[in-house]
Structure 1
Amino acid sequence: MCVSPYRLTEEAFSEENKKAEEARKIVLKLFTGEHNTTRLRIAALLEDVAHILRRDVEIEKTLSS
């Protein structure tokens, strides 16, 4: 049986979550206060991607339990 490379241990999941949160904070710092609509749209899209990735990891974590 093949083990999914996307399955994360609790510790690895926590570490990935910390990295995603740190990346989100950096992105928000880059784009906060800017009145450029394109930059704000990019920031919103990155937020959506981060949310989707966190959700996918949660689903995978639940399935592997």
Structure 2
Amino acid sequence: MKAEKIIPTPATPTDPKAVEGNGVPALRNATWAEFEKANRKVGILHDGLFRRLAEHDRQR
């Protein structure tokens, strides 16, 4: 069985309570699957935001 690749992230490993600016716990030493899942969530949020901005511009 192949071990999952570990992706180092900006949170410092010396600080166990390191959190992102919005209060969500930072991804520290995330596996590739967790890293992709987080990126997918951000992409979905951005898509929704851009869709709403485009709709707002069309209404102006």
TM class by shorter chain equals 0.5 to 0.7
Select the structure of larger CA radius of gyration: 2
Ranges in structure 1 where 5+ consecutive residues have no aligned partner: 1-24
**Amino acid aligned to 2:49:** R
**Cα distance in 1, alignment partners of residues 40 and 31 from structure 2:** 15
Greater helix share, structure number = 1
Q: Does 1:55 align with 2:46?
A: no
Q: Any idea what SS the aligned residue of 1:32 has?
A: coil
Map of 1:39 onto structure 2: 34
Query: Greater RCO between the two (CA within 8 Å, min separation 6)?
Result: 1
> C-alpha root-mean-square deviation of aligned residues, in Å?
1.9
**Greater strand share, structure number:** 2
Aligned counterparts of 2:27 and 2:41: Cα–Cα separation in 1: 13
Task: Supply the AA of the counterpart residue of 2:33.
Answer: T
- Runs of 4+ residues deviating >2 angstroms: none
Q: How many equivalent residue pairs? A: 39
What percent identity do the matched residue pairs reach?
8
